[in-house]
Amino acid sequence: MSKIIIETQINASIQICYDLSLSVDLHQLSTVQTGEHIVRGVKSGIMKLGESVTWRAKHFGIWQELTSKITEAQRPYYFVDEMQKGIFKSLRHEHHFIEGGQNVLMKDTFIFESPLGILGTIADKLFLKRYLAHFLKQRNQIIKEIAESGKWEAILKR
């Protein structure tokens, strides 16, 4: 098992940060570099507890599908999405939102286990963990920019 922890400070309300993190529309905007798009499940809007979505994206030159389900949620403080089907042996992404004055600390804990036994463990150490951390940081930067700029209204349609 590998674990990635990323913390992002955002100058926006906790509700906006939470909802943007659950928005499949924002997810597609934040993953344009991998061509990520929805093939099944929630097609637009904010995901809710028990809902799932299947994403198709190109990583390392290979098209892959990953089905993720919201398995825990306590709005606006915490939710978990877990892989139901995909290339990983397991994947759990915990999202925590902590208020602090006018800022929100968005804390991601991304826990995954690669397939292929020892080969997967070697891949994690050589490049996969670094690649995934970079991917998550890029996504969080988009969430931060949209939340702080006011563009969130168009995404969340409020």
Domain carrying residue 28: 2-156
Please count the structural domains in the chain.
Answer: 1
**What CATH number does the domain containing 73 carry?**
3.30.530.20
**pLDDT digit string, tens, across residues 91-141:** 999 999 999 888 999 999 999 999 888 888 888 888 999 999 999 999 999
**pLDDT digit string, tens, across residues 33-92:** 888 999 999 999 999 999 999 999 998 888 999 999 999 999 999 999 999 999 999 999
Note the pTM of the prediction, 2 decimals: 0.93
- In sequence order, what are the residues at sequence separation of 6 or more whose Cβ sits closer than 8 angstroms to the Cβ of residue 158? none
- pLDDT of residue 158 exceeding 60, the answer is no
- In sequence order, what are the residues at sequence separation of 6 or more whose Cβ sits closer than 8 angstroms to the Cβ of residue 74? none
Q: What is the mean pLDDT of the chain?
A: 94
Q: Omega before 115 cis (within 30°)? A: no
